[in-house]
Amino acid sequence: MGMNLVAMSSSHKMGSGNANNKRGRTRKANPTNLDLPLPPGSEYQTKWTKVYVPQLYAWAGSTSDPFGTNGKMAIEVEVIWKRVFPNVALEDEEDKHVVVKVVRAIS
């Protein structure tokens, strides 16, 4: 059993791009809970996990097709956000996009 050592130049792009990617592009990492537009503090992360996510799951479970809700959740994501985090505004479409991407990664 051997080990291969690969030397990389400083111009080598790091990331999760695959080996067949001939253009040198790397794929963006999916947003995580840390990318959510929430103020710093564990109380917001706790509220996200224990209040926000269960409410979104409850909404998805109440639809006629709970496994097909990804395309329909953008509006509900914002409605639940306003209810759970009334003092934290989603400033722009990018904030909403991050929340939707994080929720999709969870499910």
Q: pLDDT tens digits for 40-59?
A: 888 999 999 999 999 998 99
Checking if the pLDDT of 9 tops 50, the result is: no
- The structural domain count of the chain equals 1
Tell me if 59 sits within 8 A of 81, measured CB to CB: no
The answer as to whether 3 is a domain residue is: no
CA distance between the termini of the chain: 39
Which tens digit of pLDDT belongs to each residue from 66-97? 888 877 888 899 999 999 999 999 888 889 88
Alpha helix ranges (H) inside the chain: 42-47, 53-62, 73-84, 93-106
On whether residue 98 sits in a domain, the answer given is yes
Is 25 inside any structural domain? Answer: no
The confidence band for 30, taking pLDDT boundaries of 50, 70 and 90, is: confident
Q: Between these two residues, 41 and 7, which has the higher pLDDT value? A: 41
The pTM score is 0.68
Calculate the average pLDDT of the chain.
78
**66 in any annotated domain:** yes
Q: How many other β-carbons are positioned within 10 Å of the β-carbon of residue 8?
A: 8
Asked if residue 79 belongs to a domain, the reply is yes
* Owning domain of residue 94: 33-106
In this structure, how many other beta carbons lie within 10 angstroms of the beta carbon of residue 106?
A: 10
Residue 93 domain-assigned (yes or no): yes
